Amino acid sequence: MEEIYTQGVWMAESLQQRTKTQEKVWLTVTHMGDPKAAFLLVFPFTYFINRRAGVAVLWAAAISEWLNLVFKWLLFGERPFWWIGESRLFVNKQPKIHQFPSTCETGPGSPSGHAMVTAAVWWVVVSSLGSFLYSRTHSVLLSAAPYVLYVVMLVAVGISRIFILAHFPHQVVAGSITGFILGIVLSRRVPEGRPLLFFFSLSFGLLFGALMLYAGLKQLGIDLSWSIALAKKWCSHAEWIRLDTAPFSSLTRDCGALLGLGLAQYWKPGGWSLPWAPRALSLAISSMGLYHVNRLPLPVRPQGLFYSLFFVKFVLVPLIVMVLVPGLVHLLTFKKKKD
């Protein structure tokens, strides 16, 4: 394993040296591959094009990120930005690399969450798009185009994660393969029309299941905060350590989004039926709303309060996209027609 890690470090150095001019591109790609982007960008955009695909995107994002957290707790993967210092293998020959604000994530590194969630979520999107194109054109070549873009996207996200020292190559490959399999499975089991009790039980079941796993591993003497300590120790800028990248943040995001999905479907079964122009308006307003909700500052102390508010923040995401904004647009356009 040490040899694999070492080769990964030299690969990251080579990427940084050879693609210096593309630094902004890789940083943009890694932000687009952030699991948070699946909830705040991909979900609303997809939902207002195709309701079922939008629900499937949110479903795949939440379940794949939750499973990624569990895998990380069990696999104990290192991250390059701290392993370089901890290994003490580069005392005589330091690699010519540097960190970025997105580098210093605090969870374990294996498998890559960016790659895993991106692979699961975008499989839902491209498979829906590919099926749509084939049904309209009956062209195998044209319907295959989204799948080609899917592979290109996964490769780009993987390279960006290696470039910024967040992951080793094998972690990216493992995340991509796992996410691809999850995307296929989850896209076939979209929870449309399920009762609120299903989502309530699922949300709190996943929450307490993860907490029980955490407590159980702690009882066995396994300190799951080891990665947080290493991230704080080796991150080149203390302000780059953010609580919203911690493992419990992803847990509360996933469980909150699933509960919000259940509430949205309970309050407005079937969603709002809107023509294309009101849908486009709904997308624009929803995007602005989610932008401001995401930017709401949360108190980081006590941490329990932060995670509770973070949970509530992502409960609001499906409600804003599926109920509140489309309902408001429907009300406004209905009045206009009546007049």
**Residues contributing to the annotated binding site for substrate:** 79, 161
> Which two structure tokens, joined as six digits, stand for 338?
């009546």
Q: What is the residue whose two structure tokens read 């890559």?
A: 112
Is 167 annotated as catalytic? yes
Binding residues, as ranges, are: 79, 161
SS (H, E, C) 242-304: CHHHCHHHHHHHHHHHHHHHHHHHHHCCCCCCCCHHHHHHHHHHHHHHHHHHHHCCCCCCCHH
Q: Is 138 part of the annotated catalytic residue set?
A: no
Query: 129 near 145, Cβ under 8 Å?
Result: no
* CA pair distance 236, 99, nearest whole angstrom: 7
Catalytic residue among 31, 114, 138, 292: 114
User: Could you tell me if 281 and 329 are in contact, meaning their C-beta atoms sit under 8 angstroms apart?
Assistant: yes
Catalytic residue among 167, 170, 292, 330: 167
Catalytic residues, by residue number, are 114, 167
